[in-house]
Amino acid sequence: MPVITLPDGAQRAFDAPVTGAELAASIGPGLAKAALALKVDGELRDLEHRLEGEHRVEIVTPKHPDALELLRHDAAHILAEAVQELYPGTQVTFGPATEDGFYYDFARDEPFTPEDLERIEARMHEIVERNEAIAREVWDRDEAIRWFADHGEKYKAEHIESLPREEAISVYRQGEWLDLCLGPHLPSTGRLGHAFKLLRVSGAYWRGDAKNQQLQRIYGTAFFDDKALKEHLLRMEEAAKRDHRRLGRELDLFHQQEEAVGSTFWHPAGWTLWRTVEAYMRRRLEAGGYIEVKTPQLYDRSLWEASGHWEKFRENMFIAESEDRVLAVKPMNCPGHVQVFRQGIKSYRDLPLRLAEFGSCHRNEPSGALHGLMRVRACPQDDAHIFCTEEQIVSETKIFCDLLLAIYRDFGFDEVAVKFSDRPAKRAGDDATWDRAEQALMDATRQAGLDFTLNPGEGAFYGPKLEFVLKDAIGRDWQCGTLQVDFVLPERLNAAYVGEDGDKHRPVMLHRAILGSFERFLAILIENYAGKFPLWLAPRQVAVATITNDADGYAQEVAAAFQAAGLRTQIDLRTEKINAKVRDLSLAKLPVIAVVGRREAEQRQVALRRLGGQTQEVLALDEAVSRLADEARPPA
């Protein structure tokens, strides 16, 4: 006899097992019509899932937090059905929902064209109109392998063979089409609606491995209504204008090339931006009591084995060999910082000890996952580790969070969300240690006054963590900062301090970053500001442009005055007309253009034009220099 507890605490009892659809109908016809799926004891299930025994159940409707992911998963399946109807012989591989849409990977010799996408999208609308029922089936493993192999789906057959033998083989059928899938799904294709759009095609590799066959990935997005879809497409247009890779080329900031996959060539303007951010961070960290260190790039395998990284992170590490020794390029700085801590005897009076490093880390990311500065293999970080007592976790967490939020505000990010990530399946340390670490971080987070959401199973392998998510100028979320509580690494690497009682104790290690990867944070800055940086961040702050060549000498004097005041200045003495110069300098996103001609030279003035402004302000040279120097001063 099922006993169902609903989100509001109400209970419903039934004389026999019921499906989710029957449960929704028993509550009311409106809910029965809106119901898409179930969430049973925290797990999503199909609406036809049978409920027996006692459960906590949520009815998933379009307003439910999990509904959009469910909708997009269905969109991926309908995409795959449309492709195989239109292009027989095409094989399907994997097709998940993503954060802002969905994709499906296909094996097909002939490339998909933009015209193909239009045909596929039209067929998807037809499949929605058919309103095909979607139903789950459980197949025998060997039967499933034979069926997919016989129907030319070698990738599906290979995937089934790789699954644990005890795992059920779940297949979803919609109309005459079917696919291997864990689900859940909507009750029918008609529930998808028509608010979807196919976006583009790109390359991908089977199982994400560049050694495997290349596939074609079709991306799309889907929403519950046309308004949300249109708003998303407008955001995508704006995002394309702000793409850091395009702006990197246009503003001559950086480039990347195949001979250094996953790494960046920084040009003078881009490296100026980098150094400006780094200098600002260095000042903030020094004021916050951090001590900067520098640790090696290569460590012997034995250190990575002792730390646990060799077991948990080996596939992402670059390996080198020298004189019969196996070495690894560091993917993170924490083991090196423990080695610094271990030098000499540490006392409880030395704690908290905050060690910072702008450490250059390298991670062997799959080539198919690389994306401009957002996903790289060489990733210098604003890394730091705080060695403290267990009693100091709360105070250090609060100090760190206050610093992090102040820094984000200085960079123009006022809206920050916090996620609490607990123990992952793949982790080091026993459950008792994780219980202590999670409770300590939870207490610290609450006492720091932070609102947060739970992010189950996403902690680091050595400890739970907070993730700090920024919202940019067009509403996109970016996860940047982290704080992790670690009881494991100090134990594994034998870090100790002498306590007030004269005995040795293990310190707690707080792993923390504010910007995270420098490359990624700079990409976020570029896109947030669309290259129109505030004056203090702009790689080139002022351009001095002449109206006539008669003013060349005065222009050089003006440029020298700006440079002497610490302003990053360039000078334009070309013979072009001033309107052409202003246009070119504006396209280069120069925040301020100081225009000088014969009259300005005679009166020792400059005419200041601001990027995006329609007017100019005429000031005495000394006043212009003083005012711009004040504006360009970095935040304290």
Q: What residues are annotated to the active site? A: 334, 363, 381, 383, 385, 465, 511
Count Cβ atoms below 10 Å from residue 111 Cβ, excluding itself: 9
Strand partners, 495: none
Q: How far apart are CA 507 and CA 499, in angstroms?
A: 10
Strand partners, 316: none
Q: How far apart are CA 584 and CA 571, in angstroms?
A: 13
* E runs forming strands in 160-284: 169-174, 177-180, 196-205, 214-222, 254-255, 265-266
| Chain position carrying tokens 């060549």 | 549
Tokens of 103: 């994709």
The torsion of the CA quartet 502, 508, 509, 515, rounded to 10 degrees, works out to: -130
Count Cβ atoms below 10 Å from residue 332 Cβ, excluding itself: 21
Q: How far apart are CA 221 and CA 238, in angstroms?
A: 16
Q: How far apart are CA 187 and CA 176, in angstroms?
A: 15
Sign of CA dihedral 139, 141, 144, 148: positive
Closest listed residue to residue 489, CA positions, set 296, 293, 297, 303? 303
Q: Supply angle C-alpha 193, 123, 224, rounded to 5.
A: 15
Q: How far is CA 142 from CA 91, 93, 147, 148, 183, in A?
A: 20, 19, 9, 10, 20
Q: How far apart are CA 428 and CA 497, in angstroms?
A: 22
Q: Is 564 exposed, middle or buried (0-12, 13-18, 19+ CB in 10 A)?
A: exposed
Count Cβ atoms below 10 Å from residue 517 Cβ, excluding itself: 23
Closest listed residue to residue 219, CA positions, set 84, 99, 116, 104? 104
**Orientation of helix 141-150 relative to helix 154-162, angle to 10°:** 160
Tokens of 633: 């001063």
Burial 363-392 (b: 16+ CB within 10 A, else e): bbbbebebebbbbbbbbbbbbbbbbbbeeb
Q: How far apart are CA 77 and CA 136, in angstroms?
A: 13
CA atoms within 13 A on the CB side of 427: 22
Closest listed residue to residue 57, CA positions, set 33, 29, 22? 22
The torsion of the CA quartet 263, 267, 269, 271, rounded to 10 degrees, works out to: 50
Closest listed residue to residue 185, CA positions, set 311, 44, 85? 44
**Distant-in-sequence, close-in-space partners of 21: CB < 8 Å, separation ≥ 6:** 32, 35, 47, 48, 187
Q: How far is CA 343 from CA 132, 333, 336, 351, 496, in A?
A: 68, 16, 11, 15, 10
